[in-house]
């Protein structure tokens, strides 16, 4: 069975939970920016949470389905509709053969995920389907989707009756709200910032500029200063690392980040708030809050417990029917 790309949308790529084990070769993890939405999209369909999904920005893709298939759309709300009828997000949806899925208008968020029941036949490179566009590897020939591309998928027999499933959108509130409030732990060079800058970092808000993409968000806000602006030798960084650039502004590293860098790492966004950060669109304002490592870990554990509880509801539903 295949799905055809009628319109590609902007930077539509195949991603999974990312590529681990190759950072020492300078190969970053890539992967879905909003890993929660991508994992949940798969879980809603009974898939393995690490199956490849299609990550879309707005304007998003238009896709034609060759056969009946269950899909789920999670993450950003771009007003998904199938043959002009609006479809619900965060829920399994049956798309019938020859129907078209499109995204009518921008409502909220930054990245929508389309998951398909069964395993998409994408390119697996170094144990991951995630697209590395710089190296032209993984995903769909290592590049964003273009018009005319055809995605093959192994269909699986489905015993799912989506209309019986509970609405889970109210469970998602703690993951995505309050929207601009991003929790961090201190980074290795937090104390390299002077006192006034540490206060400004916590009290002021920072705007996501247009120079923001899957590699990183460049922020605009108060000028932050180092006590001693000595050159740092290159050292590892991670997704969510906040680097202080020589001009006093911050860049937040996102999924396609480099593995090492030479700028001071003042803080790091906690893993549990990365999905929320991934859904902040350009021109959104961010406010940073410092938490300790125990709080960060507890928040991540809660996020996985939520995924697990939704998985249990869905499995129970499949067994009943």
Partner 1 sequence: MPEVNFENNNVRITPLSDRSVLISFGNVIDPSINERVLSIHKALLQNGFDGFIESVPAYASLAVFYDVIKIQHSADFSAFLFVKEFLDSLVQRINSFEKPTSPIKVIPVCYDAEYGFDITYVAGVHRLSIPEVISLHTSVIYRVYMIGFMPGFAYMGAVADELATPRKDNAQLIVPAGSVGIAGAQTGIYPIDSPGGWQIIGRTPLRIFDVVNVNPCLLAAGDQVQFVSIDKNEFASYVD
**What count of Cα atoms within 13 Å lies in the side-chain half-sphere of residue 71?**
31
- Of 135 and 146, nearer to partner 1 (C-beta) is 135
4-43: contacts with partner 1 (CB under 8 A): 20-27
- The candidate with the shortest Cα–Cα distance to 283, out of 106, 113, 112, 131, is 106
Smallest distance, partner 1 to C-beta of residue 106, A: 31
Q: Binding pattern to partner 1, positions 197-226, x when CB under 8 A?
A: ------------------------------
Part in contact with partner 1 (CB under 8 A); list of ranges 100-108, 213-221, 257-265, 279-287:
257-265
Rounded distance between C-alpha atoms, residue 113 and residue 77, angstroms = 10
Question: What six digits make up the tokens of 186?
Answer: 């201190």
Part in contact with partner 1 (CB under 8 A); list of ranges 79-87, 103-111, 131-139, 156-164:
131-139
Under 8 Å between Cβ of 20 and 117: no
Work out which of 300, 306, 311, 313 binds partner 1, going by CB under 8 A. Answer: 300
| 124 near partner 1, judged by CB under 8 A | no
Q: Rounded to whole angstroms, what are the CA distances from 308 to 41, 270, 303?
A: 13, 20, 9
DSSP H or E stretch at residue 167: none
Q: Where are the alpha helices (DSSP H) in 96-193?
A: 173-176
Rounded distance between C-alpha atoms, residue 104 and residue 171, angstroms = 25
Under 8 Å between Cβ of 260 and 28: no
Work out which of 204, 213, 285, 304 binds partner 1, going by CB under 8 A. Answer: 304
Smallest distance, partner 1 to C-beta of residue 249, A: 18
DSSP H or E stretch at residue 297: helix 293-320
The number of angstroms, rounded, from the C-alpha of 216 to the middle of its chain's C-alpha atoms is 12
- Of 194 and 297, nearer to partner 1 (C-beta) is 297
| 136 near partner 1, judged by CB under 8 A | yes
Smallest distance, partner 1 to C-beta of residue 216, A: 14
167-196: contacts with partner 1 (CB under 8 A): 185-188
Under 8 Å between Cβ of 288 and 184: yes
| 260 near partner 1, judged by CB under 8 A | yes
Smallest distance, partner 1 to C-beta of residue 230, A: 7
Smallest distance, partner 1 to C-beta of residue 298, A: 9
Residue identified by tokens 């409502």 is 107
Smallest distance, partner 1 to C-beta of residue 241, A: 7
231-250: contacts with partner 1 (CB under 8 A): 232-241
Work out which of 10, 108, 159, 301 binds partner 1, going by CB under 8 A. Answer: 301
- The candidate with the shortest Cα–Cα distance to 276, out of 300, 259, 258, is 300
Rounded distance between C-alpha atoms, residue 93 and residue 73, angstroms = 8
Tell me which residues touch partner 1 (CB under 8 A).
20-27, 125-126, 134-137, 142, 185-188, 230, 232-241, 258-261, 265, 268-271, 293-294, 296-297, 300-301, 304
């Amino acid at each position: 069975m295949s799905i055809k790309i009628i319109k590609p949308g902007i930077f539509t790529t195949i991603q999974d939970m990312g590529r681990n084990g190759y950072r020492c070769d300078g190969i970053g993890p890539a992967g879905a920016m909003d890993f929660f939405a991508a994992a949940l999209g798969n879980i809603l369909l009974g898939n393995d949470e690490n199956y490849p999904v299609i990550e879309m920005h707005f304007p998003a893709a238009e896709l034609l389905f060759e056969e009946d298939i269950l899909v789920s759309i999670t993450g950003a709300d771009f007003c998904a509709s199938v043959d002009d009828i609006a479809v619900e997000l965060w829920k399994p949806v049956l798309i019938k053969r020859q129907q078209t899925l499109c995204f009518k208008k921008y409502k909220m968020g930054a990245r929508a995920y389309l998951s398909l029941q069964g395993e998409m036949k994408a390119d697996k490179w170094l144990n991951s389907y995630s697209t590395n566009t710089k190296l032209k590897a993984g995903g769909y020939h290592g590049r964003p989707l273009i018009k005319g591309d055809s995605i093959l998928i192994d269909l699986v027999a489905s015993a799912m009756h989506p209309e019986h499933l509970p609405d889970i959108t109210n469970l998602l509130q703690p993951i995505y709200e309050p929207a601009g409030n991003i929790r961090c732990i201190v980074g290795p060079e937090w104390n390299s910032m002077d006192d006034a800058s540490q206060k400004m970092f916590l009290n002021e808000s920072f705007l996501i500029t247009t120079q923001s993409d899957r590699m990183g968000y460049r922020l605009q806000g108060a000028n932050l200063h180092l006590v001693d602006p000595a050159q740092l030798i290159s050292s590892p960084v991670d997704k969510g690392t906040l680097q202080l650039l020589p001009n006093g502004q911050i860049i937040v590293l996102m999924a396609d980040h480099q593995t090492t860098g030479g700028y001071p790492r003042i803080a790091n966004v906690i893993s549990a708030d990365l999905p929320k950060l991934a859904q902040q669109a350009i021109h959104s304002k961010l406010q940073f809050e410092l938490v300790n490592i125990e709080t960060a870990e507890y928040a991540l554990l809660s996020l996985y417990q939520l995924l697990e509880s939704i998985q249990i509801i869905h499995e129970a539903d499949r067994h009943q029917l």
